[in-house]
Amino acid sequence: MEEEPKNTENQKQEQQENPVDLSENQPENVENQVNIPENLQEMEPNSAENSTDENTDIDFKNRIPLEELYQTVEQLKSELAKVIVGQHEFIELLIVALLADGHVLIEGVPGIAKTITAKLFARTLNTAFSRIQFTPDLMPSDVLGTSILNMKSSTFEFKQGPIFSNIVLIDEINRAPAKTQAALFEVMEERQITIDGHEYAMQPPFMVLATQNPIDQEGTYALPEAQLDRFLFKIKVDYPTMEDEVAILKTHHERKKQPLQLINAVLNAEQLATFKEQTKAVIIEEKILNYIAEIVVKSRTHPHLFLGGSPRASLAIMNASKAFAAINGRDFVTPEDVKKVVKPVMGHRIILSPEREMEGMTPETVIDMLVQAVEIPR
């Protein structure tokens, strides 16, 4: 037991006399091993650059040339912004309806720029425009036209009414009686009118913008469901926000010209026809079609609804979704495009059950239920 400490002391003395040379025991390629991290540091930025170069080389181009359409839509919005403050969704829906070849019913209280927005929107198009003020004594011939006897030739000549235009603004459509409203059925759906056995076709583009006031009930005639179904959208215009109200006051105070003099035309009939063809060619996958169909079909059996959406509602959602994708520069439809157009398309096509209507439920609430009940396609 006493010899062990002597051995340890001898070992320490030997180590001190003969220190180990660690440099001699290192392998010959130590320098290479030391340089490996440097090589890695040199290669990492290169590899990152290579990866970014590969990503930048991938250019996702549209299969449909939508650049001109997108730029024209932005220019149209900027023209309307010279006069109209806010109302971005309203203006966007008007453009979508124009590209989808549909008509628009605009509803709102007096004084919130329904008519002036429609007039300025028509001003941005280099096409014919007419305005018809509907009144209780308005006759169908005042809208469509009538045949007049020519005394010189002893023949009847057809005199076209104000409906023969490209963009037609019908102000206070619910103030005309039912027979005058019914005169619009054929022209809105088939783009033609029939008088005295002769058919007269409308020149494209043809779009009806109608306004109505939901507050006044005296001296008005509610549009029947068949007439409402002719409109692609029913747009409900609300009051502006506080910030927009202040901006409206400032622009009116500083404006030197009339609103119509500030707006320039940015789109002609030939360009619009091309854009409509491009919009029709926007790609929509089968799963999106199933998504649209499921929403509309569920509306027909929903317990809160007395009347659901028709196949025309499905077609309207599909066409409007394509137009929404096109104005955003995409050549394919996404579920978000469908969600944006469901309310303005379905809101005037469904009828609440009497019980739910008495409870104060709105069609928009039921539409939200329908959208939430259908699984979003992935």
Look at residue 145 and tell me whether its pLDDT is greater than 50.
yes
Candidate from 151-155, 208-212, 214-218, 325-329 with smallest mean pLDDT: 214-218
Residue-range domain boundaries for the chain: 62-274, 282-378
Whether residue 83 contacts residue 263, with contact meaning beta carbons closer than 8 Å, is answered with: yes
Angstrom distances, CA of residue 199 to CA of 28, 102, 163, 192, 193: 99, 21, 14, 7, 6
Reported as a pLDDT band with limits 50, 70 and 90, residue 103 is very high
Give mean pLDDT, residues 310-337. 96
Q: 62-274: CATH homologous superfamily? A: P-loop containing nucleotide triphosphate hydrolases (3.40.50.300)
- pLDDT (tens digit, 9 = 90+) per residue, 13-51? 444 445 444 444 444 444 444 444 444 444 444 444 444
CA dist., res. 275 & res. 338, Å (int): 20
Amino acid letter for position 23:
S
Whether residue 125 contacts residue 231, with contact meaning beta carbons closer than 8 Å, is answered with: no
- pLDDT (tens digit, 9 = 90+) per residue, 219-231? 789 898 889 999 9
E strands present in the chain: 104-107, 125-126, 129-133, 145-150, 155-160, 167-171, 192-195, 198-201, 207-212, 233-236, 267-268, 305-307, 351-352
Among 45-54, 145-154, 256-265, 273-282, which range has the highest average pLDDT? Answer: 273-282
DSSP annotation of 331: S
- DSSP-derived 3-state class of residue 59: coil
- Token pair for 124: 């941005």
First to last CA, the chain: 81
Exposed, middle or buried: residue 62 (CB in 10 Å: 0-12, 13-18, 19+)?
middle
- For a pLDDT cut of 90, what percent of the chain falls above it? 70
To the nearest 5 percent, what fractions of the chain are helix, strand and coil?
Answer: 50, 15, 35
Reported as a pLDDT band with limits 50, 70 and 90, residue 215 is confident
Reported as a pLDDT band with limits 50, 70 and 90, residue 358 is very high
Largest CA distance in the chain: 150
155: Cβ–Cβ under 8 A, 6 or more apart, which residues?
Answer: 149
Task: Name which of 273, 276, 292, 275 is nearest 284 in CA terms.
Answer: 292
Mean pLDDT, the chain, whole residue set = 86
Give backbone dihedrals phi and psi of 207, rounded to 5 degrees, phi first.
-145, 135
Give mean pLDDT, residues 162-189. 93
Predicted local confidence at residue 378, as pLDDT: 83
The DSSP bridge pattern shows strands 198-201 and 192-195 to be: antiparallel
In the numeric block, the tokens 């944006």 are attached to: 340
Task: Name which of 140, 150, 222 is nearest 186 in CA terms.
Answer: 140
CATH number of 282-378: 1.10.8.80
Q: How many CB atoms lie within 10 A of CB 222?
A: 12
